[in-house]
Amino acid sequence: MKIFCIGRNYSDHIRELSNEKPSAPVVFMKPPSALLVQNKPFYIPDFSSEIHHELELVIKICKNGKRIEPAFASRYFKEIALGIDFTARDLQSELKKKGLPWELAKAFDKSAPLSDFIPLAPFKDGAIHFRLDKNGQTVQSGNHREMIYSFEELIVFISQYFTLQMGDMIFTGTPAGVGPVKIGDCLEAYIEDRKMMDFDIK
Ligand code: ZN
């Protein structure tokens, strides 16, 4: 199982980090050991003093494919979840400055809390609104229509380089509002009014 993540897929988040708008999707990966499921607590790792939450819509690939044509891309996912792309922002800034890969800052153990998947069909025609509350206050909100690259475009792009396999996931990027978490925080994530995740930072 592969976990793809997309960087810089919402304009308002690109602005808040003063990044450039990408001319193609920014793709990186996390290993399966990054997953944190069933609302288990997240323990702040000792190698970072600036862990940021990035709330993201996650799609699950439901059939195998490579070099997928745009017209068929929508057939490759049927379910959606919320995930958090925890990022050691202090480490990432150092790595970025040196032009080094981001794995240490992005792909560490349990850096990807993930909710259960739910069917996408009921949401398909509208904008899928999602949000993250930290200690009861909304800190991030967005909807999938604000993405620079759509789910389908991401599938087309990624599948030019990687065979997509059933069970692979794509974390599709974060809207603005990323920020630090500290011990004692409680994070709750919603798709529309449905609570998808609720866990503590320890
Ligand atoms: Zn992210």
What's the pLDDT tens digit per position in 100-135?
999 999 999 999 999 999 999 998 778 999 999 999
- Domain residues of the chain, as ranges? 3-32+45-200
| 50 CA from centroid of ligand 1 (Å) | 15
| 54 CA from centroid of ligand 1 (Å) | 5
Which architecture, in CATH terms, is 3-32+45-200? Alpha-Beta Complex (3.90)
pLDDT at 151 over 90: yes
Instruction: Output the pLDDT for position 124.
Output: 74
d(CA 64, CA 119): 19
The pairs formed by 72-77 with CB atoms below 8 angstroms and a separation of 24 or more are 73/151, 73/152, 73/153, 73/155, 73/156, 74/151, 74/152, 76/155, 76/164, 77/120, 77/151, 77/155, 77/170
| 72 CA from centroid of ligand 1 (Å) | 26
| 174 CA from centroid of ligand 1 (Å) | 5
